[in-house]
């Protein structure tokens, strides 16, 4: 298929792998973090690690928006959904995320009207069709999805669809990366920068990572060759003694971002003073809420959200996994108490979560897998 | 990172997680990662147990949750040697009073597809072909079907007539008769228009015994044509995605192609499965577990139409898990693989047939994929429905 096969070509991958191996200094180990959950998914789905030398390891970062939603916010959303006149809407991978007392799926089975949508505008359609109901959109995601939520609110305002509201859980990527850079137990050689977030915010906001923290960052696309090339470019920077922000995903990401999208976010939303991240705790100015001007579309103001706080289960080490301190399998409950069927931590819920990706695609002795798949 | 205290914290679930960890100590000779993987393998082999209080949609999606429901609820209550094999249909030995003996295949299937009408078919031909195919996968010659209808008050009679006409046509095409049936009408809102349950009997007149437990290392895995057409067609026909594509359901009776395959390579065919709910990936997992073998698939050999690839890429789902209604997976001994592929190709429904993988001895119970990109990964059962990813 055009625009897909070109980016998954095995011959090019082999050539790139040779170049990568040549750039690795003997005896040195390299650790790169892919910030974005979409990258984690690609890495496992295509078996990309088979192309990397043993000395290069990829650490999965906090960029899966579903994975960083704290349990309390899920409980709040379920409390909203349980209002008799509410139709709750959200993206598909939110459905299985466990709060302190079950997931959207469980709540739906118990009678709440919860519907999966592919786009926030679909929630607006539902609101138009059900004027006697209040339709709430559970908004999640980084700057990638925030503009579409903001656009939907603007549309609702134009149409005066007052039975539509947003439960805003949008988060911002830079504070999360800062939190990781500040974490003392972490050793990284560089970052594979998030691609789709950068289509909105551009590459400029990452400059402090190279300048102040001395870590190179390559903003990367989501096809396997994109990621492999980004690893190559990170190694090349280290080899040449450079430390810069580079844009591998230039076919989509403008260096200065998307001004229109940023304006729309700014019109509808503002930074929260603080927001809880699953596993990372409270991070200042790390999330968005609705501006006062759009309070009539803000579910938190309309409904009086309970504001439940639920401690992460003690055994759950999602935080360490999100920070890249632990590999998924190093978590105490990985694969036994915490599985994709009965996830404890959010890293196990979304297919982009580091744990779910490892469990579904990577869980096995590499040697035995290689032996079995030898043609 | 700034931490704010925002009031009281409610303790989460009890410490069952810690207890589960404590139960898996030992195995010091392995590396830590290997120990963990061993621990997981053990946990997966444990008896299925339902943790949910209520049935969720995941229990109907054909993945892990469905398997758990079947094993923990139905198998637990109905347990008998025939059911325990969990094949597409039951193979029954019968003896008549005159001393004659024979073997019958018996199966049942329910249909709740939405929308009822979609490009390439409707719930009617699906209900007939589905049961015909389950019989065909047992190696049987389909004979007679029953049909049960649950209708919602207010359902248009014209729609019912259209559905029934397509059932009649499908039955005629498959050479079976619908010989008994039942009708119930429920109040408006208690059903989604029309549900159909069919059951069928077929004659097992070949000596071959087919079983998901019969695969052996060295065997070859074949599929009879492009995968995922039905699932993608229905997903698009629901109109929720605003994607238009030129694609039709693959719904078709497969008894003709299975007869052709068994005629030519009968002694070498280990098992046949139609790749319905859960797709090819789910079947391969069932085979890997039942036969305690590794099934190794080759992504670049998988026949997938570009339109199915495209829709799957957009939705973030994997065609390996998408349902077909007229495709079969066959596992065949290595010496009969060429003959089997030729037999599939010889049938109009098998023009797109391909060898998609092989059976190995290790690691048992797993399905592995050589990706087109040149890497490897596990192809596990899905937990529930394939959920679209957000970014």
Dist CA B278 CA B323 (whole Å): 6
Q: Are residues A328 and A276 in the same domain?
A: no
Q: Are residues A205 and A285 in the same domain?
A: no
Chain B residues touching A9 at Cβ < 8 A = 373
pTM of the model: 0.88
Q: Are residues A97 and A139 in the same domain?
A: yes
Residue B306, chain A, CB below 8 Å: the answer is yes
Min Cα separation A36/chain B (Å): 10
Q: Are B103 and B204 in contact (CB under 8 A)?
A: yes
Which residues, at least 6 apart from A277, have a Cβ–Cβ distance to it below 8 Å?
A62, A68, A70, A171, A176, A179, A283, A286, A322
Which residues, at least 6 apart from A84, have a Cβ–Cβ distance to it below 8 Å?
none
CATH number reported for the structural domain that contains residue A95 in this entry: 3.40.50.11740
Show the domain range for A287: 71-173+257-303
Give the side-chain half-sphere CA count within 13 A for A67.
36
Chain A residues touching B10 at Cβ < 8 A = 100, 308-311
Min Cα separation B236/chain A (Å): 13
Q: What is the pLDDT of residues B49-68, one digit of tens each?
A: 887 888 988 888 888 888 88
Cα A77 to Cα A147, A271, B67, distances in angstroms: 21, 20, 30
> Domain B88-203 sits in which CATH superfamily?
PurM-like, N-terminal domain (3.30.1330.10)
Structural fold of domain B212-378: Phosphoribosyl-aminoimidazole Synthetase; Chain A, domain 2 (3.90.650)
Per-residue pLDDT of chain B (391 residues; tens, 9 = 90+): 344 444 444 444 445 445 444 544 444 456 777 777 777 777 777 777 887 888 988 888 888 888 889 999 999 999 999 999 888 899 999 998 888 889 999 999 999 999 999 999 999 999 999 999 999 999 999 999 999 999 999 999 999 999 999 999 999 999 999 999 999 999 999 999 999 999 999 999 998 889 999 999 999 999 999 999 999 999 889 877 778 889 999 999 999 999 999 999 988 999 999 999 899 999 999 999 999 999 999 999 999 999 999 999 888 889 999 999 999 999 999 999 999 999 999 999 999 999 999 999 988 899 999 999 999 988 988 876 666 555 4
Min Cα separation A183/chain B (Å): 9
Percent of chain A residues topping a pLDDT of 90: 63
Q: Are A225 and A44 in contact (CB under 8 A)?
A: no
Does the N-terminal peptide bond of residue B141 adopt cis geometry, omega within 30 degrees of 0? no
Q: Is residue A5 part of a domain?
A: no
Q: Are B91 and B82 in contact (CB under 8 A)?
A: yes
Q: Hey, what are A41's tokens?
A: 């998914």
Q: Hey, what are A53's tokens?
A: 């030398």
A24-31 contacts, C-beta under 8 A, 24 or more apart: A24/A53, A24/A55, A24/A56, A24/A235, A25/A239, A28/A55, A29/A55, A29/A56, A29/A57, A30/A55, A30/A56, A30/A57, A30/A189, A30/A190, A30/A235, A30/A238, A31/A57, A31/A59, A31/A187, A31/A188, A31/A189, A31/A324
Tokens 């190559």 -> residue: A232
Q: Are residues A192 and A268 in the same domain?
A: no
Q: Are residues A79 and A158 in the same domain?
A: yes
Interface test with A, best of B375, B380, B386, B388 (most A CBs within 10 A): B375
Instruction: Write the DSSP assignment of A14-30 as a string of letters.
Output: HHHHHHHHHHSPTT--E
- Is residue A284 helix, strand or coil? strand
Q: What is the pLDDT of residues A3-31, one digit of tens each?
A: 888 999 999 999 999 999 999 999 999 99
- Indicate yes or no: CB of A363 within 8 angstroms of CB of B378: yes
- Indicate yes or no: CB of A14 within 8 angstroms of CB of B3: no
Tokens 């939110």 -> residue: A94
Q: Are A203 and A255 in contact (CB under 8 A)?
A: yes
Cβ under 8 Å to A: B residues 11-30: 11-13, 15-18, 20-21, 23-24
Residue B238, chain A, CB below 8 Å: the answer is no
Q: Is residue A368 part of a domain?
A: no
- Is residue A226 helix, strand or coil? helix
Q: How many domains does chain A have?
A: 3
Interface test with A, best of B355, B377, B384, B385 (most A CBs within 10 A): B377
Dist CA B1 CA A322 (whole Å): 15
Dist CA B170 CA B157 (whole Å): 20
- Indicate yes or no: CB of B306 within 8 angstroms of CB of A282: no
Q: Are residues A83 and A221 in the same domain?
A: no
- Is residue B250 helix, strand or coil? coil
Pairing of strands B367-370, B294-298: parallel
Chain A residues touching B375 at Cβ < 8 A = 46-51, 224
Buried b / exposed e across B284-314, counting CB within 10 Å, b at 16+?
bbbbbbbbebbbbbbbeebbbbebbbbbbee
* Residue of chain B minimizing CA distance to A140: B390
Dist CA A91 CA A352 (whole Å): 14
Q: Is residue A308 part of a domain?
A: no
Of B33, B374, B390, the CB nearest to A13: B374
What is the ipTM metric for this complex?
0.87
């Amino acid at each position: 298929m055009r625009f897909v096969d070109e980016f998954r070509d095995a011959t090019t991958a082999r050539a790139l792998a040779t170049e990568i191996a040549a750039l690795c200094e003997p005896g040195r180990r390299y650790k790169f973090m892919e910030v974005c959950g979409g990258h984690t998914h690609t890495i496992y789905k295509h078996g990309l690690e088979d192309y990397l030398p043993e000395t290069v390891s990829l650490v999965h970062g906090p960029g899966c928006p579903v994975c960083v939603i704290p349990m309390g916010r899920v409980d709040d959303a379920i409390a909203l959904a349980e209002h008799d006149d509410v139709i709750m809407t959200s993206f598909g991978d939110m459905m299985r995320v466990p709060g302190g007392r079950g997931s959207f799926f469980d709540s739906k089975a118990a009678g709440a009207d919860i519907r999966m949508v592919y786009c926030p505008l679909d929630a607006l359609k539902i609101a138009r069709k059900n004027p006697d109901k209040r339709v709430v959109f559970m908004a999640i995601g980084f700057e990638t999805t925030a503009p579409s939520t903001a656009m939907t609110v603007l549309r609702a305002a134009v149409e005066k669809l007052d039975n539509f509201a947003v439960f805003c859980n949008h988060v911002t990527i830079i504070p999360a990366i800062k939190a990781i850079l500040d974490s003392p137990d972490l050793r990284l050689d560089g970052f594979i920068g998030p691609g789709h977030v950068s289509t909105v915010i551009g590459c400029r906001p990452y400059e402090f990572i190279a300048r102040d923290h001395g870590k190179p960052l390559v903003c990367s696309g989501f096809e396997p060759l994109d990621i492999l090339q980004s690893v190559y470019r990170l190694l090349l920077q280290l080899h040449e003694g450079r430390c810069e922000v580079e844009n591998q995903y230039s076919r989509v990401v403008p260096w200065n971002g998307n001004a229109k999208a940023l304006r729309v976010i700014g019109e509808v939303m503002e930074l929260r003073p603080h927001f809880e991240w699953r596993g990372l705790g409270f991070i200042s100015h790390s999330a968005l809420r609705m501006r006062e001007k759009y309070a009539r579309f803000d579910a938190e103001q309309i409904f009086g959200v309970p504001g439940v706080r639920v401690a992460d289960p003690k055994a759950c080490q999602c935080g360490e996994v999100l920070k890249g301190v632990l590999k998924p399998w190093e978590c105490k409950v990985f694969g036994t108490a915490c599985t994709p069927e009965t996830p404890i931590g959010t890293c196990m819920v979304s297919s982009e979560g580091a744990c779910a990706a490892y469990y579904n695609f990577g869980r096995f002795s590499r040697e035995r897998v290689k032996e079995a798949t030898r043609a | 990172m700034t931490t704010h205290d925002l009031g009281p914290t409610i303790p989460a679930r009890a410490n069952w997680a810690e207890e589960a960890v404590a139960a898996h100590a030992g195995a010091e000779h392995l590396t830590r990662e290997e120990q963990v993987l061993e621990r997981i393998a053990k946990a997966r082999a444990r008896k299925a147990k339902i943790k949910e209080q209520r049935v969720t949609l995941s229990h109907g999606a054909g993945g892990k949750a469905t398997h758990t429901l079947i094993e923990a609820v139905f198998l637990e209550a109905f347990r008998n040697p025939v059911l325990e094999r969990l094949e597409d249909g039951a193979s029954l030995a019968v003896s008549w009073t005159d001393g004659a003996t024979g073997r019958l295949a018996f199966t049942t299937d329910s249909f709740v597809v939405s929308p009822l009408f979609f490009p390439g078919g409707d719930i009617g031909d699906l209900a007939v072909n589905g049961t015909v195919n389950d019989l065909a996968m047992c190696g049987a010659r389909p004979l007679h079907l029953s049909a049960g209808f649950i209708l919602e008050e207010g359902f248009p009679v014209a729609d019912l007539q259209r559905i029934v006409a397509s059932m009649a046509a499908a039955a005629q095409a498959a050479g079976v008769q619908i010989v008994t049936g039942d009708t119930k009408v429920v109040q408006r809102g208690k059903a989604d228009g029309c549900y159909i349950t069919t059951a069928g009997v077929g004659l097992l007149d070949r000596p071959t015994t087919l079983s998901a437990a019969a695969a052996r290392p060295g065997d070859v895995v074949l599929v009879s044509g492009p995968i995922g057409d039905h699932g993608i067609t229905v997903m698009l026909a629901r109109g929720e995605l605003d994607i238009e594509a030129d694609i039709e359901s693959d719904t078709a009776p497969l008894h003709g192609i299975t007869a052709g395959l068994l005629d030519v390579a009968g002694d070498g065919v280990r098992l046949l499965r139609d790749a319905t709910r859960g797709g090819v990936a789910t079947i391969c997992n069932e085979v890997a577990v039942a036969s305690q073998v590794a099934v190794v698939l080759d992504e670049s050999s998988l026949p997938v139409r570009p339109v199915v690839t495209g829709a799957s890429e957009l939705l973030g789902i994997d065609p390996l898990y998408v349902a077909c209604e007229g495709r079969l997976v066959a596992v065949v001994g290595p010496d009969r693989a060429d003959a089997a592929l030729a037999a599939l190709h010889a049938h109009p429904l098998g023009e797109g047939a391909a060898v998609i993988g092989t059976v190995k001895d290790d690691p048992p119970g797993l399905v592995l994929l050589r990706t087109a990109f040149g890497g490897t990964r596990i192809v596990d059962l899905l937990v529930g429905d394939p959920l679209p990813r957000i970014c």
